[in-house]
Amino acid sequence: MPYLDQNLVDRLDKKLKQLNSLRPLPKTAVEKLRDQLRIEMTYNSNAIEGNSLTLKETFLVINEGLTVKGKPLKDHLEAKDHYSALSYLYELIKHGKKNTLSEHLIKQIHTIIVQETDKEWAGRYRNSNVIIGGADHTPPDALDVPTLMRDLITWFSKERKNMHVVELAALIHHKFVYIHPFFDGNGRTSHLLMNLILMQAGFPLSIVLKNDRKKYYRVLAQADKEQYEPFVRFIAQTVEHSLDLYLKTLTPTTKKRETFLKLADIAKDTPYSAKYLNLLARQGKLEAHKEGRNWVTTQEAVERYMKGRERQRDV
Ligand SMILES: Nc1ncnc2c1ncn2[C@@H]1O[C@H](COP(=O)(O)OP(=O)(O)OP(=O)(O)O)[C@@H](O)[C@H]1O
Ligand SMILES: [Mg+2]
Query: Hey, how many other C-beta atoms are within 10 angstroms of the C-beta on 52?
Result: 13
Q: Looking at ligand 1, which atom is closest to the CA of residue 173?
A: 31
Catalytic residue among 82, 173, 174, 180: 180
Name all residues whose Cβ lies below 6 A of ligand 1: 48-49, 132-133, 135, 137, 177-178, 184-188, 190, 217, 220-221, 224
β-pair type (261-262, 289-291): unpaired
Q: Which residue among 220, 224, 234 has the greatest number of ligand 1 atoms within 8 angstroms of its CB, and so is best to mutate?
A: 220
In the residue annotation, 180 being an active-site residue is answered as yes
Ligand 2 ion: Cβ-proximal residues, 5 Å cutoff: 49, 184
92-109 residue pLDDT tens: 998 876 668 999 999 999
**What does the CA dihedral 34, 39, 40, 42 come to, rounded to 10 degrees?**
120
Predicted confidence at residue 254, as pLDDT, reads: 61
Predicted confidence at residue 90, as pLDDT, reads: 92
Taking CA atoms only, the protein residue closest to ligand 1 atom 13 is 187
d(CA 156, CA 101): 8
Taking CA atoms only, the protein residue closest to ligand 1 atom 1 is 221
d(CA 205, CA 239): 8
Q: What is the pTM of this model?
A: 0.88
| 185 alpha carbon – ligand 2 mean position (Å) | 5
Which domains, ranges and CATH numbers included, belong to the chain? 6-250 (1.10.3290.10), 261-314 (no CATH)
Taking CA atoms only, the protein residue closest to ligand 1 atom 4 is 178
| 132 alpha carbon – ligand 2 mean position (Å) | 9
SS3 call for 239: helix
Annotated binding-site residue? 90: no
Predicted confidence at residue 23, as pLDDT, reads: 86
Predicted confidence at residue 98, as pLDDT, reads: 67
Query: Hey, how many other C-beta atoms are within 10 angstroms of the C-beta on 218?
Result: 14
Phi then psi for residue 262, to 5 deg, are -65, 150
d(CA 286, CA 308): 10
Predicted confidence at residue 99, as pLDDT, reads: 67
Predicted confidence at residue 291, as pLDDT, reads: 87
The pLDDT averaged over each successive group of 10 residues in the chain (315 residues) is 87 96 89 94 96 97 95 97 96 80 96 97 98 96 98 96 96 98 98 96 96 97 97 97 93 75 93 95 91 91 89 70
CA atoms within 13 A on the CB side of 37: 27
